[in-house]
Chains A and B, each alone.
Chain A
């Protein structure tokens, strides 16, 4: 039996939640004080996900970097790999919000998109 300690992010209470697991099977969730905590804990131990935000290199723009995000959540354990692909990306100005910077990043099916406009220099 594996035990995982989590801090709930559902509200400022920040309940300390303990989840007992066997493999992917959640055996018990304790320490939460509401349903939000239970759902959060279940997701967080079975398939934690995050949105990654960063910047990418711009060529020919009025700014050297464009801010980007994964258009949806990606698996948490892929953050480092996703960053590698974002770091390697080079985008040509002009850029509009929503333009794809990295398609299907790390095979997650999620695109990395621009979150701001960059004008050509």
Chain B
């Protein structure tokens, strides 16, 4: 099979491009080295829809940020995922740095950000009483928002799949060559794939993928920039209502404090450039650092309510600019590289832009039967008791609560497994349903979720993983498998 387009990477960029491309008549395949979508940078970030005042005026980053932000309401409505414009605040705590807020404001205006306002200390504290006592002024951006990064990525991929895009998981790209047939031959651990066009949306690996096809003088180097985060219990979710940033530095936007769209409080990220492209380990120094920094601009942070900490990698490139477009000397090979923050915000716009490039290059025609809408997994908590009872009568699995912290039923988990690009692991279920994301962190529900995966997918217990690969939960039966299969 010769594909029209192969997209490398099923993170938020790859998924957005796949979904946009699925509007057109084309054979599209996404190659993903992990067992699920949303496994890299896309799963470990701040979940912020940025307003767009950070990126340099005139940059592609600025343009796609502002465009992505504008698109987000319709986008989330169509894909049925939660999004809330809670507004962001950049907090100045040193009088001599107030001019920095003005600079950001000016840049925001140039970038086309709407509604920006510089607030006095008093105005800011009125809106956000837990700001630091040292606050001198605030840049307020009402268009900033919060989103579930998993749901965004999964929904785009799922919708792309419904519209005919194929996804190959556990498929790692090892080499890419232009064949004599003028097609791209992609060698993977799962055999060779051939396509007319290739999109490189490989996140922190986008440098390596780019360098497989580029000219010697056009190499790019992506540095994994690690960020540690702490996620706090929903009890702390109201500590602030806006997303609170410090003033930015050369290392980025700094340690933010934000409610999440699901009602937790998120603190992070730190910024540390590392060598390990899989180095998503938190460090004691990192966590201490972020707690110290967060306390600079938000007071009384209830850090005792941490339910988990994690780290994510940003695909940092020295120019700090998205690299999108055909690679020089590699015809029909499109980069979507160095997508660091605001990549999540920009993703709908990135999808639109890359699909637009391909549409023009390939002369793609729109499908007549494209389905642009998608329903998320039903959330029974939104239903009245009567409606919920009707649902349980029709499908009793909705009456069986599996994750008690987040109140997730068996019905939701079964749906997450059987829908397009369904979950195959505990993390897959978790990101789709939130089962296991609560304060007990899956202590209670993981044996029950395993039982459901076992039953619904016919997996043996020993084959059930946390997140694919060798991440199996149990190794064998007790009694050295002398027992029957019961």
Which A residues form the contact surface with B (CB < 8 A)? 55-61, 64-65, 87-88, 90, 121
**Interface check B482, CB cutoff 8 A:** yes
* Also in contact, A90 and B486, with CB within 8 A (given A55-B478, A65-B478): no
Contact of A60 among B478, B479, B482, B486 (CB under 8 A): B486
| Interface residue from A61, A87, A121 paired with B482 (Cβ < 8 Å) | A87
Q: Are A64's CB and B482's CB within 8 A? A: no
Alpha-carbon gap, A75 to B480, bound state (A): 25
Interfacial chain A residues near B478, Cβ < 8 Å: 55, 65
* Shortest distance from the beta carbon of B486 to any chain A beta carbon, whole Å: 5
A56: which B residues are within 8 A, CB to CB?
479
Residues of B within 8 A of A (CB): 478-480, 482-484, 486
Q: Is the CB of A61 within 8 A of B480?
A: no
Q: How far is the CB of A54 from chain B (nearest CB, A)?
A: 9
A-B contact pairs, 10 of them (CB 8 A): A56-B479, A57-B483, A57-B484, A58-B486, A59-B483, A64-B483, A64-B484, A65-B479, A88-B482, A90-B482
Contacts of A90 in B (CB 8 A): 482-484
In the bound assembly, the distance between CA atoms of A90 and B486 in angstroms comes to 12
CA separation between A58 and B484, bound complex, in Å?
A: 8
Interface centre among A56, A57, A90 (most CB of B within 10 A): A57
Q: Are A87 and B480 in contact (CB under 8 A)?
A: yes
CA distance A64 to B451 in the complex (A): 13
Provide the residues of chain A in CB contact with B480, threshold 8 Å. 87
Question: Are B486's CB and A59's CB within 8 A?
Answer: yes
* Bound CA span A58–B482, Å: 10
Nearest 4 CB-CB pairings of A with B: A57-B483, A64-B486, A87-B479, A59-B484
Contacts of A57 in B (CB 8 A): 479, 482-484
Q: How far, in angstroms, from A57 to B483 measured CA to CA in the complex?
A: 5
Task: Say how far A53's CB is from chain B's closest CB, in angstroms.
Answer: 13
Contacts of A65 in B (CB 8 A): 478-479, 483
Main secondary structure of the interface of B (DSSP, over half): loop
Q: Which chain A residue shows the least CB distance to B482?
A: A57
Nearest CB of chain B from residue A65's CB, rounded to whole Å: 7
Minimum CB–CB distance for A3 against chain B, Å:
38
Report chain A residues within 8 Å CB of B483: 57-59, 64-65, 90
CA distance A60 to B480 in the complex (A): 19
How far apart sit A59 and B486, CA to CA, in the bound complex (Å)? 7
A65 to B482, CA, bound (A): 11
Residues of A within 8 A of B479 (CB): 55-57, 65, 87
14 additional A-B pairs beyond A59-B484, A59-B486, beta carbons within 8 Å, are: A55-B478, A55-B479, A57-B479, A57-B482, A58-B486, A64-B484, A64-B486, A65-B478, A65-B479, A87-B479, A87-B480, A87-B482, A90-B482, A90-B483
Specify which chain B residues have a CB less than 8 angstroms from the CB of A59 in the assembled complex.
Answer: 483-484, 486
Q: Kindly provide the distance from the CB of A19 to the nearest chain B CB, expressed in whole angstroms.
A: 36
Q: How far is the CA of A60 from the CA of B486 in the complex (A)?
A: 7
Q: Which residues of B sit under 8 angstroms from A64, Cβ to Cβ?
A: 483-484, 486
B477 to chain A: closest residue by CB: A64
Across-interface contacts of B484 in A (CB, < 8 A): 57, 59, 64, 90
Q: For residue A61, which residues in chain B have a CB less than 8 angstroms away from its CB?
A: 486
Question: Could you tell me the distance between the alpha carbons of A18 and B483 in the complex, rounded to whole angstroms?
Answer: 44
Chain B residue contacts of A121, Cβ below 8 A: 486
Complex-state Cα separation, A64 to B486, whole angstroms? 5
Q: How far is B484's CA from A90's CA once the two chains are assembled, in angstroms? A: 9
Smallest beta-carbon distance A1→chain B, Å: 43
Nearest CB in chain B: distance from A57 CB, A: 4
Contact residues in B for A88 (Cβ distance below 8 Å): 482
Complex Cα gap A88–B479 (Å): 8
Separation of A61 and B484 alpha carbons in the complex (Å): 10
A73 to chain B, nearest CB (A): 23
Give Cα A90–Cα B478 distance, bound, in whole angstroms: 13
C-alpha spacing A87/B483, complex, angstroms: 9
A58 surroundings in chain B (CB, below 8 A): 483, 486
Complex Cα distance, B486 from A117, in Å, reads: 16
Separation of A60 and B482 alpha carbons in the complex (Å): 14
What is the CA–CA distance of A59 and B479 in the complex, to the nearest angstrom? Answer: 13
Note all chain B residues with C-beta closer than 8 A to A87.
479-480, 482
Contacts of B486 in A (CB 8 A): 58-61, 64, 121
Bound-state CA distance A76–B128 (Å) is: 65
Nearest CB of A to B461, in Å:
10
**Complex Cα spacing A88 to B482, Å:** 7
CB distance from A66 to the nearest CB of B (A): 11
A92 to B260, CA, bound (A): 51
- The chain B residue with its CB closest to the CB of A88 is B482
A85 to chain B, nearest CB (A): 12
Q: Report the Cα distance A2→B486, complex, angstroms.
A: 50
User: How far does the Cβ of B463 sit from chain A's closest Cβ, in whole Å?
Assistant: 17
Closest to A55 in B: B478
Which chain A positions have C-beta within 8 A of B482? Answer: 57, 87-88, 90
Q: How far is the CA of A35 from the CA of B207 in the complex (A)?
A: 74
| CB proximity of B46 to chain A, nearest CB, Å | 44
In this complex, what residue of B is CB-closest to A58? B486
A61 → chain B closest CB, angstroms: 7
Task: State in angstroms the CA–CA spacing of A59 and B482 once bound together.
Answer: 11
In the bound assembly, the distance between CA atoms of A64 and B478 in angstroms comes to: 10
Select from chain A the residue with minimum beta-carbon distance to B484: A59
Minimal Cβ-Cβ distance residue in B for A62 = B486
In the complex, how many angstroms separate the beta carbon of A14 from the nearest chain B beta carbon? Answer: 30
Of all chain B residues, the one with the shortest Cβ separation from A64 is: B486
Chain A nearest CB from B389 CB (Å) reads 28
Q: How far is the CA of A15 from the CA of B482 in the complex (A)?
A: 42
